Amino acid sequence: MFSLEFFPPDLLEQGPAPTYGADQAMARWIDQIRPLLALPLDFVSVTNGATGAASDNSLVAIKALRGECSSPIMAHMIGLDKSPSDALDFLTDFAHDGGKQLLVLRGDKRPTVGKPHFNRATDLMAFVQKTMPGRFQFAVAGYPEMHPEDQSLEHGLEVLKRKVDLGANKVVTQFCFESTAVLKWRDRVAASLPDLEIHLGVLPIRNIDQA
């Protein structure tokens, strides 16, 4: 299985004299990724903005992809910065556009985020299932080298099992640095959750000095 994850473009460029307007920025983004969309992909996903900066652009980018991509499109849905009303608006917009697959994430804690309604990805998954039961397919995050807030790898596996109980059928891993840890984690997950699709996250090296 092979998929690709894309960051949505910045639709409003910063600075006193933007080079591109929103429509031009989106068209330029599509032109850049179009060769990749021709690959035999199981799905493509669009992030909700790793830093929060592009969170409003992900659904716009997904709509632009619909006419260019024959593969299923998965939206990243981050709970930490959403109220129930925000989450419902996101789900309604995505569903109206034909979306079915969600990568459900808590999101990174940031000082600018107040007290969240959805403290965990499982909180957001439960909300989606209650609000639109059976409407979406869930993918979730996995951590072969352990999530910073997990007490142990065993605890991380228990969290993953709870996500599967809430309907997850795919797990996409955080990128990792030790292949041995990844393979051991994969084998443990496959033994405990044999029906769960495992997608190993790979981040291309763009700067050899950072490798």
Strand partners, 140: 104, 171
> Residues for the chain: how many in total?
211
CA 198 from centroid of its chain's CA atoms: 14
Whether the CB-CB separation of 199 and 162 falls below 8 Å is answered with no
Q: Where are the beta strands (DSSP E) in the chain?
A: 3-6, 43-46, 73-78, 101-105, 137-142, 168-173, 197-199
DSSP alpha helix (H) spans, 67-152: 84-96, 121-131
Active site residue 5: yes
CA distance 145 to 142: 9
CA distance 75 to 62: 8
Residue 117 burial by Cβ neighbours in a 10 Å radius (0-12, 13-18, 19+): middle
| Residue 178: strand, helix, or coil | coil
Whether the CB-CB separation of 104 and 139 falls below 8 Å is answered with yes
Residue numbers annotated as active site: 5
